[in-house]
Amino acid sequence: MTISTKDKEILEHFIKGLSLNRFEAERLGEPNIDVTVRYFWDDCGISFVERKETMKNPLDPQAKKHTRRRYWLDDLGMEKAKKFLIKGK
């Protein structure tokens, strides 16, 4: 199995113990973090924790607040993500 460069970079970010929401993911070149996390979760068995957060779009300070999800790996997801990256190389 080959993992795309984008997916590898996103998983490496999470493996560092970091989290992402939509706006942060866009800065890493990931335009749709919700779909990517769902792929890792449903198709790869990598589990995440998610929390809703309310925030303004940092690119448009005049915009009203929106609810977004913040994602990070849980302990089992961390183990599986590391194994997934090793297999995907």
Please name the residue that has the structure tokens 């993992």: 3
* pLDDT of 89 over the 60 cut: no
Geometric angle at alpha carbon 57, from 33 and 24, rounded to 5°: 35
Average pLDDT for 25-34: 93
Model-level pTM? 0.85
How many whole angstroms from its chain centre is CA 58?
18
3-state secondary structure of 36: helix
The domains of the chain are located at 5-76
The arithmetic mean of pLDDT across residues 8-21, rounded, is 96
Query: What was the pLDDT predicted at 57?
Result: 73
Q: How confident is the model at residue 1 (pLDDT cuts 50, 70, 90)?
A: low
Average pLDDT of the residues of the chain: 91
pLDDT, average across residues 37-45: 95
